[in-house]
Amino acid sequence: MSEPVVRRVADPEALARAAAGELVRVATRAVGERDAFALALAGGETPRRLYELLADPREPFRDRIAWSRTHVFFGDERPVPPDHRDSNFRMAREALLGRVPAASVHRIRGEDPAAAEEYEAELRRFFAIPAGEAPPRLDLVLLGLGTDAHTASLFPRSPALEERRRWVAAPFVERLGTRRITLTLPILDRARAVLFLVSGGDKAEALARVLEPAAGEELPPAARVRPEGEILWFVDRAAASRLGAAAEGPT
Ligand code: 6PG
């Protein structure tokens, strides 16, 4: 794994624009090298503005991405149908996927009790990986950060954090009183690039715990993501307010 690169930007709009530029860079490299771009979208609210920028024909990003070569996956999903207000797929469809002609969109069928097994089978089929072989290498995985330093749906003390074989798990999340479906560390760590997007003062304490852990402190979930490729943290000023000088960019 390369060292994490932390890029500090002024505010949420700058965060979305910086992320859009980075996504264009990674997509261009992937299509140039392999004629395909495998992207896993993050859920939650932070990436919404990024998705809107990527889809907006008035912005300089949409036409710089080879959507016909882009295959869209999801890092996690809630156990709801695709039209539910909590669905990560629904947010992505509204902000992005309904407005760009992606080559393929691979939704996690959160409403299905066997969603985790089904999604792993779909990943295995799409990437043509036989049983027992290493997980696929996604070109870019977008991730968020919770106030408890969870990422995707890997929450503190979740058994899914210890999963070393399955690529997708469906842990029960005590704090939420529901299960979630999530990619696991084995597949996240195979990524060619992981981009965390963190915005807001409410994330400052979690971000400091991840990027500047106190000696002897247990690693929070987001700190457990250690991809073989690049790991980038794009954070706005409010989220970075508890970090030392390590982060690049405006203070
Ligand atoms: C989800 C996400 C989750 C999210 C963080 C941050 O399904 O909610 O995968 O990991 O990225 O909870 O959420 P916000 O961006 O809404 O703060």
Q: Return d(Cα 82, Cα 108) in angstroms, integer.
A: 9
* Sole residue written with tokens 């696929």: 136
Q: What is the pLDDT of residues 25-78, one digit of tens each?
A: 999 999 999 999 999 999 999 999 999 999 999 999 999 999 999 999 999 999
Residue 107: strand, helix, or coil: coil
Question: Please, which residues have CB within 8 angstroms of residue 57's CB and are 6 or more apart in sequence?
Answer: 63
Give me ligand 1 centre to Cα 210, in Å: 16
The CA-based dihedral angle spanning residues 99, 35, 230, 225, taken in that order and rounded to the nearest 10 degrees: 70
Does the CB atom of residue 88 touch ligand 1 within 6 A? yes
Q: Has this prediction a pTM greater than 0.85?
A: yes
Query: What is the spatial distance between Cα 41 and Cα 47, in angstroms, rounded to a whole number?
Result: 8
**What confidence score (pLDDT) does residue 247 get?**
56
List 75's β-bridge partners, or say none. Answer: none
| Share of residues in the chain with pLDDT > 70 (%) | 97
Element (H, E) at 231: strand 230-236
pLDDT of residue 249: 64
Confidence of residue 246 (pLDDT cuts 50, 70, 90): low
Q: Is 199 in the pocket of ligand 1 (CB under 6 A)?
A: no
Q: How confident is the model at residue 154 (pLDDT cuts 50, 70, 90)?
A: very high
Residue linked to tokens 């407005």: 99
Radius of gyration for the alpha carbons in the chain, expressed in angstroms and rounded:
17
User: Would the CB of 45 count as within 6 Å of ligand 1?
Assistant: yes
* Helix locations, the chain, DSSP H: 12-34, 48-55, 88-92, 115-127, 185-188, 204-211
CA–centroid distance, 58 to ligand 1, in Å, is 27
Give the separation between CA 42 and CA 251, rounded to whole angstroms: 26
Q: For 70-110, how does the pLDDT look when each residue is reduced to its tens digit (9 = 90+)?
A: 999 999 999 999 999 999 999 999 999 999 999 999 999 99
